[in-house]
Every structure is written in structure tokens, then in C-alpha cells.
Chains A and B, each alone.
Chain A
Amino acid sequence: KAGVTQTPRYLIKTRGQQVTLSCSPISGHRSVSWYQQTPGQGLQFLFEYFSETQRNKGNFPGRFSGRQFSNSRSEMNVSTLELGDSALYLCASSPRDPGSYGYTFGSGTRLTVV
């Protein structure tokens, strides 16, 4: 079965712009969670969606937002991009609770802000 698909794989944006990243979970998975990975901070939890509802959010500013559609596909948006937003953004899907049921990661979107 198809894995978790993230698009685009690479992205270059300018400071001040906004960006939207997409994640298609494994068929049947209803939970999608997003993570940011930077060399200095490691992997950090952004937010998690289940059945179109955001259930939990990490410690990120309001410029980071997301949503989930009825087919479980999810998007995350970052507005007013800053240089520090350059990172690998990973999404993962899970049948229900990623902490307890495990998750499958996508390959990530590498965002560079210049």
C-alpha cells in the first residue's frame, strides 16, 4: 500500500512569503501529525490532526497553522516566513493516536528560506 506522501520535496522561499505544505496519509489512517527538524533543535512536534480537528499543538508561534480535510489529507501553512523556518518538515500518519499506535513518516519537505 502507498506510504505517506509529502509534497513538494524541496522548496525555496523568500523571507516574508508564506508557504503551504501537503501531506497525504496512508489510506485508512485518520491521524496526521507534523514535525519540524532543524540541526539545532532536532525534531519538534508541531501539531496533530484527527478527523479534521486539531487535537494538540506544540510550542510554535501562530504563524504555523494547519488543517485536515475530510479525506484525511493535511496541509500546514507558515506565514511571514523567517530565515529560522528553514528546516525539514515531516508529517506522519497513524491509525489513531501516534504516541500509542505508532506512525509512518513521509520523506519530508525541505524548506529553505532566503
Chain B
Amino acid sequence: KNEVEQSPQNLTAQEGEFITINCSYSVGISALHWLQQHPGGGIVSLFMLSSGKKKHGRLIATINIQEKHSSLHITASHPRDSAVYICAVGSETSYDKVIFGPGTSLSVIP
């Protein structure tokens, strides 16, 4: 079993839909990160959180430490949101080691 898992693996949505991507992990963590990778490879760090909820524009990230689960929500999705979304956790025991999830490929259709 992978230490960090994401669901769904692939997601296609109509423009304007509300989107949820899930991440579950099995290790102790110092923090959880959501990353966005566009075609071509560039990666942008969206959120870093260790508890509760963060919001930035149309993006919302939540984490439940007890359940070892995080969700990334996109409200009013837009074609420019099409990307791969990657969940990554910073290891609690080895603070400088990062473990990545497999990514969720999102395609938003106009």
C-alpha cells in the first residue's frame, strides 16, 4: 500500500462544476502540500497545511489529522484549472523528506 494515495486518478468536469480531489496518507506528517502541475512540467505549490482549512480564491484545502485525510476543492471550475494535482506530505520523522501522491489529472471542459 502506498504511503500517500489520491482519488480519483482522473477527473473530467464541465466548466462551472464543483470539484473535489482526495488525499489519504498512512505516515506521520509535519505538513501536507497540494501542488499543481501544468502540461510542460512546471509545478506550483498551492497550499501547505497542518490543520484545519485554507482558502485561496476558488481553491479550498482541508485536512483531518485524525483521519489522515485531506481534500482539495475547486469551486466554479474553469478550463485553466486543467492540470495534475499532487498531494505531498512532509515526513514527521524525517522532516526534510517529502512523499508524493500519484497525482490526479483534471480536465475541465468548456
Question: Could you tell me which A residues sit within 8 Å of B by CB distance?
Answer: 31, 33, 35, 37, 42-45, 48, 50, 55-56, 58, 88, 90, 92, 97-105, 107-108, 110
Contacts and interface: CB of A to CB of B under 8 A. Distances in A.
Contact of B31 (A35, A37, A88, A99): A99
Interface residues of B, number: 27
B95 interface: yes
A10 to B, nearest CB: 11
Given A42-B102, A97-B90, A55 B96 contact: yes
Given A102-B45, A108-B41, A108-B42, 5 more contacts: A42-B103, A45-B100, A90-B41, A102-B48, A107-B41
Given A97-B90, A99-B90, A99-B91, A33 B96 contact: yes
Nearest to A90: B43
Given A50-B96, A99-B31, A110 B90 contact: no
Interface in B27-50: 29-31, 33, 35, 40-45, 48
